[in-house]
Amino acid sequence: MLSLGFGDQSGQVNIKSPGSLLPGGFCSLSHGVKDKNEETWCQSHLADQQLHQLLEKVDADLAEEACQQGCLYCEGKLHRADYDRKPRGGPQWERRYSFCCAQEDCRRRRTPESVRFLGRRVYAGLVVVLITAMIHGLKPGRVRRIREALQIDSRTLKRWRQWWLDNFVRSSFWKAARARFMPLVCEQRLPLSLWLSFKLEQRDRLLAVLEFLKPITTPAAWKELAM
Ligand SMILES: [Zn+2]
């Protein structure tokens, strides 16, 4: 099986430390106990303009860096060739930065990593991340209202959950990354267990999660992860 290069597109694994972690095993967290603040901080992250601007800036820097490195195949110059996006239920980011080699006989694409777009999906990475934390422990009626506000249907939510449990857990990215977490992240409770380990309620920690996940945001990674 093809082993994908994460971190950059040259095949190096580059995983940042998840930083400070909660004590105790995440599997031991009781189900159904809802922190009253959880929904509030999730909603404030979703609406936080400064955070959105910060994520935009990080993506612009990642794009700038990739552009300066040039084409990975022929060292040709890169031209902007962004992808159109129409994200739902979050910031209205309409462009995913991408480049195309200027050399006639090459023309290969280079799409830098992103802290805004997790996959090809119509949802921004922070929506995908926050929805799990937001609906954790809520009654079905409340979950439905949040889903509706974010324009996510229940099948999509179920598919996402299954994706974390199957594709994500089996990925070479996660296999390399999971050992960095101490205590270990409970894989049966993904992705919530991962968010808890990052202490997502603090704004800078949300950026940390999205930066942690950025190696899986390139088209090369999507192939393995079926995103
Ligand atoms: Zn090229």
Ligand 1 centroid distance, CA of 102 (Å): 7
Q: Over the stretch 32-85, which tens digit does the pLDDT of each residue have?
A: 445 556 667 777 888 888 889 999 999 999 999 999 999 999 989 999 999 999
**172-196: average pLDDT:** 93
Ligand 1 centroid distance, CA of 9 (Å): 14
The CA distance from 115 to 33, in Å, is: 30
Per-residue tokens: 174:
């996660």
Ligand 1 centroid distance, CA of 10 (Å): 14
Ligand 1 centroid distance, CA of 103 (Å): 6
Estimate to the nearest angstrom the gap between the alpha carbon of 123 and the chain centroid. 10
Ligand 1 centroid distance, CA of 110 (Å): 9
- Model confidence, pTM: 0.80
pLDDT on residue 208: 92
Output 189 or 19, whichever has higher pLDDT. 189
Count of positions (residues) in the chain: 227
If pLDDT is split at 50, 70 and 90, which confidence band does 132 have?
A: confident
Output 224 or 124, whichever has higher pLDDT. 124
What's the per-residue H, E or C state across 21-66? CCCCCHHHCCCCCCCHHHHHHHHHHHHCHHHHHHHHHHHHHHHHHH
Contact 212, 15 (CB under 8 A): yes
pLDDT on residue 38: 67
Ligand 1 centroid distance, CA of 220 (Å): 16
Ligand 1 centroid distance, CA of 25 (Å): 47
User: Is the predicted pLDDT of residue 190 greater than 60, yes or no?
Assistant: yes
Q: Which of 7-21, 61-75, 119-133 holds the top average pLDDT?
A: 61-75
